[in-house]
Amino acid sequence: MIPEPQGVELGLGLIGIGRPWPAADSPMPPDERVGELIEAAVDLGIRFLDTAAAYGRSEERLAAALRGRLARCRDRLIIATKCGEEWVDGFSTVDHSPAALERSVARSIGRLGRIDLLQLHKATPEVLADRRVLDTLAALAELYGISALGVSARDEATCATALDTGLFSFVQCPFNAADRSLGDWIRAHRDRTIVVVNRPLGSGRLLSEAAPDALYAEVAETLGRGFVLTGTTDAAHLAQSAAIFDTLKKGRLTPR
Span 66-115, pLDDT tens digits: 988 788 999 999 999 999 999 988 889 999 999 999 999 999 999 999 99
- Predicted confidence (pLDDT) at residue 224 exceeds the cutoff of 70: yes
Q: State the average pLDDT over residues 141-153.
A: 98
Residue 256 lies in a domain: no
- Predicted confidence (pLDDT) at residue 256 exceeds the cutoff of 70: no
> Which own/partner pairs from 17-25 qualify as long-range (CB within 8 Å, at least 24 positions apart)?
17/55, 17/57, 17/58, 17/61, 17/62, 17/233, 18/51, 18/55, 18/56, 18/57, 18/58, 18/59, 18/61, 18/87, 19/55, 19/56, 19/57, 19/58, 19/87, 21/203, 21/231, 22/203, 22/204, 22/231
Cα torsion 189, 22, 214, 180 to 10°: value is -40
CA–CA gap between residue 29 and residue 56 (Å, rounded): 13
221 neighbors 255 (Cβ within 8 angstroms): yes
- Predicted confidence (pLDDT) at residue 254 exceeds the cutoff of 80: no
For the segment 28-70, what is each residue's pLDDT rounded down to a tens digit? 999 999 999 999 999 999 999 999 999 999 999 999 999 887 8
Alpha carbon distances (Å) from 6 to 47, 80, 188, 222? 11, 17, 19, 15
Give every CB contact of residue 113 below 8 A, 6+ residues apart in sequence. 63
- Would the CA dihedral through 39, 211, 203, 176 be positive or negative? positive
Residue 60 lies in a domain: yes
Q: How many domains does the chain have?
A: 1
Residue 73 lies in a domain: yes
What pLDDT band is residue 255 in, cutting at 50, 70 and 90? low
Q: State the average pLDDT over residues 159-179.
A: 97
pLDDT at position 250 is 79
Residue 91 lies in a domain: yes
CA–CA gap between residue 128 and residue 253 (Å, rounded): 38
Q: What is the span of the domain harbouring residue 61?
A: 8-249
pLDDT at position 252 is 52
Residue 29 lies in a domain: yes
Written as one letter, the residue type at 210 is A
Task: Indicate the range of 19-23, 52-56, 175-179 predicted with least confidence.
Answer: 19-23
Residue 2 lies in a domain: no
Residue 130 lies in a domain: yes
Task: Indicate the range of 100-104, 220-224, 251-255 predicted with least confidence.
Answer: 251-255
Residue 254 lies in a domain: no
Q: State the pTM of this model.
A: 0.95
CATH code (residue 48): 3.20.20.100
pLDDT at position 24 is 86
